[in-house]
Structure 1
Amino acid sequence: MSNARAPRRAFLALALSLFLFALAMSLLALPSTIQAQTVPEKPVVAHVAFDEKADLQWITDHGYDVWAVEQKERYAVVALSPAEWRTLAAAGYTLSIDEAHTARMQRSGPDAFYGGYLNAEELYAFLDETVTTHPTITQLVDYGDSWEKVTPGGNAGYDLQVLRITNRAISGTVPAPGLAYRPDITITKPLFFLMSNIHSREITTPEMGRRFIALLTEGYGSDPDVTWLVDNHEIWIVLTANPDGYKIVENSGNGLLYHRKNTNITNGIGCTFPSSSSNHYGVDLNRNASFRWGGTGSSDKPCDATYHGPSAASEPEEQALESLMSGLFNDQRGPLTDDMAPLDTSGLMISLHSYSDLVLWPWGWTDRRNANFAQLAQLGSKFSSYNGYTAQQSIALYPTTGTTDDWAYGTLGIASYTFEIGPGDWADPCSDFFPPYECQDMFWELNGPALLYAAKSARAPYQLPSGPDTLSVTVSAPFVMSGSSMVITAQISDTSNGNQPVAEARYWLDTPEWNAGTAIPMSATDGTFDSPTEQVQATLNTSGLQLGRHTSFIQGRDTSGHWGPVTAAFLEVSETNETLLLPLLRH
């Protein structure tokens, strides 16, 4: 009998050995992750698995510091203290520690921060220098004070500053309410509002704002698209909406880097100091907005990362931000949740965050689509065509309430977005809130064109993105003699705007449509408008034109009747043909 069982025992032993070997290999296949339910001794970055949306919502509703969500793999990336780990494990969640990124979270702050990022004082100095260098197209506006500045007995705090970029010598036709504290400023042009760093640890975002400022100011007068934008639109940029919190990140050591909120300690008695990612004082300014404040996706516990504050817009930073935008934009939407903003609504806002490679639009508080969902999705998809990010309604990431973009759309009706900059793939070295500074070049390459398109679309963001793009605008010669002819050419493409055939193209010389200019038709170079991409041209006789620089504004329309944004080109009319004369002079 025992001899008969021996082969069976040997077989079972072999099977068990193979099973254990396979299990070990499966764990080795996940080198950056330890599968465990053992409570860690220190704060960690964890993957928290979820099955249903309700499981994810429970996490966000209880104030956990959610960094990213992988919907396909069904897990959230969450910073957890040992106590929070125990709570989630007891609630039935499966957790795993990511060793590599836990180590990244605990690294030294200054080593990560000073690789090229500007500190708070340098950001403010950059703004001052920009105004000094470009006084006719820039203006620095103090729109309020940070919590530290209005609270005696602590740090000095900061003025809240926004940079206005526009040619003030050129006025528009549609006045905004204006700023009570700056009666000298009159807003009459379409406006694009860009804000960064409402979450202090997201240090990529001020760098994107800084580069956009440099693009606009340094390109003015030489880049035709930048020039017409600065002449005919208003662009307002907040580099840091949370300077007190940014200062904490700048000065941080181990464990302090991941401070997300402002520095209001009034309701933070008992919160840890130095701060950890999952336990720190302050109010989450992106849960403190007065629209849909205090609901799902925010916390009423002062030490939680998503603490929404004691009341709606309780924080001076949020009060100042809402007051600023209410003065810059007309209220263009009705008071009811399902009211639709008119299709000709003007104005656009983008709040820069990191990370996860996402373009988000309202709502974040509900699965319901807002009344302008189709228009917001169209523009979001257009942004995605530039940066390659996933475009989706905010709640598809996770539920939120009291956010800036929900407030801007819900209160004012303007097209409002959040960009989550930086890859969500943890294996990518440019992931996380503190990527190496060299990652900024890649981030800018992706997002610079998207921000420029946003500025171009601000005149009618619910209409223009449905129309074709005007690309590759050229003139036959940059300089022409007065009285001679020149050819303006362009490519009109609807391939990323609905893929409708192009039906028409036109241009204006010097005076665009919104200033009652006269449109001049352009023809398809192949003789017929019948394709989603068309090469177009027009011949311009310069007789009667003043000597000097002129600007052509080119625009296309698809067969659905949608006109796209304009693209500009410069041409120079002179007494002599400088195209021929300059080479002779050089010779």
Structure 2
Amino acid sequence: MQRPPGTTMIRYWAAACVLLGLHGNPAAAEDWFVEAYFSDRAAIDRLGASFQHLQIDEARGVVRVDTDENGIRLLEQAGLDVRIDMVSSAKLRAFYAPADVPQSIPGFACYRTVEEARDSLDALVAAHPDLASLQDIGPTWEKEKNPAAGYEMRALRITNLATVAQDPDRPRMVMYGSIHAREYTPAELLNRMAEGLVAGYGVDPLSTWLVDHVDFRFIVHANPDGRKRAETGIGWRKNTNVDDAFCPGTPTSFSQPGVDLNRNFPFHWSGSGGSSTQACEQTFRGPAAGSEPETRNLLAYTVGTCDGSGNCSGGALPDRRAESLSSPAPEDYSGLFFDVHSYSQLVLWPWGDVSTEAPNGPSLRRLGRRLAWFNDYWPMPSIGLYPTRGSTVDTIYGYVGAAAYTIELGVDFFEDCSEFETATLPHNLSALLYAARAARRPYQWPQGPDARGITADTARVPAGSAVTLRATIDDTRYNHDNGNETTYAITGALAYVDLPPWHPDAAGLPMTASDGSFNAMTEAVEVTIPTAGLAPGKHLVWVQGKNARNGGTIGTPDAVFVEILADDTLFADDFETQ
């Protein structure tokens, strides 16, 4: 392909992009992918309130964003040199091509529509009522206006419902998907995670112990009205409130009606920067904090009702933090919050509006870097990207003290299915499943080592025979791309049969270092477990390691199945019955 005069060819994520110098304006109401070159980082912070996803390459001095002619003009007025990426722009247009079939997303069969997602969750609950339930949490803006329109927002609960009443301390992990409507991957990721947990129950040891001991809450579609609009081929980000945010003309990804729900949450909603007061802009924060029914539904479900003193009750997550900027939650807080977005390959935590470290900042950072080890994303406080106000993550952490994170999935809004299936999905499932393993003590366990690679020398053990368990205790699993986390030597590990490590009656069996001594940041460990007295059937065996931090800090556990065979499952010649 020939380069026009005055333009340049560069590489982005190892893929060739054709960048055309901008002369004149592109056609109105069309979206473009652009790269804008900057020399003043403060200009990007100021622009953050007007754009939805600024992907910033600090080393090259480039910001990448999709926008229309108005956004291009704004970038130029800020002094940036703007170039159009024609290859990505063509992909963007294909992604937003209107759907020919209402119940499909053309070219992206891996992403379910709102209706398909709702149907799949209904089927999941119908097939597994002991593990899954659905709760209506309130109407969307359109349904509130007209009961025959819009959607009832729903929360999916995945946990062992038969035992939850006897386990009041079971940690809750709340996850929002696709609060920005055109972000297809988050809802699908959460849908797949829920389905995988249920499908693996009783078969996969990780799924089994997580469903037994973690209370998962999925709001797969946090903005269904907007998502339905996006499925028609519009780059829709906000909700569909056209009363308080009317915009004339044809909607584009830069100028459209509605309120940005991720700028409408009440914690630090007002103030300069971090959101927009202009109704047509992407980050319009709404006429008031919590003005939108979607925001109110999500907040009431997650933190409950809050009084004038900032004390919240009745929500999925417990309130254990005073509302001031300087008050930390106790380090033994139990529970987690995630708001999953796309795109940018980031793991973000509070704060989004100030550069002051959050009161639980070191612990938020450690878990963030642990998560980023699994998905290989860039970990940082939200303010490191650009200022944001009225966000979900700042509000949930600010109101109740839960460890709260945004994950920005992948490299495109319009991520093709092969990239999603082979990279974004498995890597981020691994990150979220690690988070679930740490959900009981998200501020503490990531300070200790991870237990991984747990195996039994034989998965099916004759009654009374011993079984040798092996594992790796690893303190090195941090992402160090944005700063180094101190790691420590492993000092020990314990194995627990049937009862998890946190149970008051659990008795750990000491494991030995396979090389004879505990002195490295990663250690292979083993233990021989007698099975006399264990009933026939599957038994979960947990492993939890400890490092030298502060004289001994336990880490995130994991488990494996060991099956004890009944005496009558063996013939005299030692062959098992079928």
TM-score with structure 2 length normalisation? 0.88
In structure 1, how many angstroms separate the alpha carbons of the residues matched to 2:71 and 2:562?
A: 64
Given candidates 559, 564, 575, the residue that maps to 1:573 is: 564
In structure 1, how many angstroms separate the alpha carbons of the residues matched to 2:243 and 2:532?
A: 71
Cα deviation for residue 41 of structure 1 reads 3.0
Cα deviation for residue 546 of structure 1 reads 2.1
Residue equivalent to 2:152: 159
Letter in 2 for 1:406: D
Residue equivalent to 1:115: 109
Alignment partner of 1:38 is 2:24: yes
Residue-pair matches, total: 540
Pairing of 1:292-331 with structure 2 (within 5 A) = 292-295=268-271, 296-326=273-303, 327-331=315-319
Alignment partner of 1:564 is 2:552: no
Residue equivalent to 1:233: 214
Unaligned runs of 5+ in 2: 12-16, 100-104, 304-314, 479-485
In structure 2, how many angstroms separate the alpha carbons of the residues matched to 1:77 and 1:483?
A: 63
Given candidates 339, 354, 363, the residue that maps to 2:351 is: 363
Cα deviation for residue 91 of structure 1 reads 4.3
Residue equivalent to 1:149: 143
In structure 2, how many angstroms separate the alpha carbons of the residues matched to 1:98 and 1:29?
A: 10
SS at match of 2:91: helix
In structure 1, how many angstroms separate the alpha carbons of the residues matched to 2:541 and 2:165?
A: 19
Pairing of 1:324-339 with structure 2 (within 5 A) = 324-326=301-303, 327-339=315-327
CA contact (8 A) 1:361 1:394 kept: yes
Residue equivalent to 2:129: 135
Residue equivalent to 1:277: 253
SS at match of 1:291: coil
Alignment partner of 1:342 is 2:335: no
In structure 2, how many angstroms separate the alpha carbons of the residues matched to 1:224 and 1:578?
A: 23
Cα deviation for residue 203 of structure 1 reads 0.4
Given candidates 275, 280, 291, the residue that maps to 2:267 is: 291
Residue equivalent to 1:550: 539
Given candidates 424, 431, 438, the residue that maps to 2:418 is: 438
Cα deviation for residue 103 of structure 1 reads 2.5
Deviation digits for residues 212-244 of structure 1, max 9, x if unmatched? 112200110011121111111111111100000
SS at match of 2:136: strand
Cα deviation for residue 464 of structure 1 reads 0.6
Pairing of 1:487-498 with structure 2 (within 5 A) = 487-496=468-477, 498=486
In structure 1, how many angstroms separate the alpha carbons of the residues matched to 2:350 and 2:153?
A: 26
Alignment partner of 1:99 is 2:89: no
Unaligned runs of 5+ in 1: 1-20, 176-187, 424-431
In structure 2, how many angstroms separate the alpha carbons of the residues matched to 1:24 and 1:384?
A: 41
Given candidates 65, 70, 82, the residue that maps to 1:78 is: 65
CA contact (8 A) 1:37 1:95 kept: no
Given candidates 50, 63, 76, the residue that maps to 1:89 is: 76
Pairing of 1:337-416 with structure 2 (within 5 A) = 337-416=325-404
Taking structure 1 as reference, are residues 113 and 331 closer, same or farther at Cα in structure 2, changes over 3 Å only? farther
CA contact (8 A) 2:501 2:544 kept: no
Q: Which 4+ residue blocks in structure 1 deviate beyond 4 angstroms?
A: 21-26, 28-31, 111-114, 172-175, 577-583
In structure 1, how many angstroms separate the alpha carbons of the residues matched to 2:471 and 2:213?
A: 22
SS at match of 2:395: helix
Deviation digits for residues 110-147 of structure 1, max 9, x if unmatched? 36464332111100001001101111111111111111
In structure 1, how many angstroms separate the alpha carbons of the residues matched to 2:131 and 2:153?
A: 20
In structure 1, how many angstroms separate the alpha carbons of the residues matched to 2:18 and 2:435?
A: 38
CA contact (8 A) 1:480 1:576 kept: no
Residue equivalent to 1:212: 193
Question: Higher helix share goes to which structure?
Answer: 1
Residue equivalent to 1:125: 119
SS at match of 2:164: coil
In structure 1, how many angstroms separate the alpha carbons of the residues matched to 2:59 and 2:571?
A: 61
CA contact (8 A) 1:384 1:391 kept: yes
Query: 402-411 or 63-72: which moved more?
Result: 63-72
SS at match of 1:515: coil
Pairing of 1:462-541 with structure 2 (within 5 A) = 462-496=443-477, 498-516=486-504, 517-541=506-530
Deviation digits for residues 26-82 of structure 1, max 9, x if unmatched? 735686111235333333332233322320122123x23444222222232233433
Cα deviation for residue 569 of structure 1 reads 1.3
Residue equivalent to 1:184: none
Identity across matched positions, percent:
34
SS at match of 1:201: coil
SS at match of 2:187: helix
SS at match of 2:79: coil
Cα deviation for residue 511 of structure 1 reads 1.5
TM-score with structure 1 length normalisation? 0.87
SS at match of 2:117: helix
Cα deviation for residue 448 of structure 1 reads 1.1
SS at match of 1:46: strand
Residue equivalent to 1:6: none
Letter in 2 for 1:474: T
Query: 27-36 or 476-485: which moved more?
Result: 27-36
Cα deviation for residue 290 of structure 1 reads 0.5
In structure 1, how many angstroms separate the alpha carbons of the residues matched to 2:526 and 2:75?
A: 64
SS at match of 1:351: strand
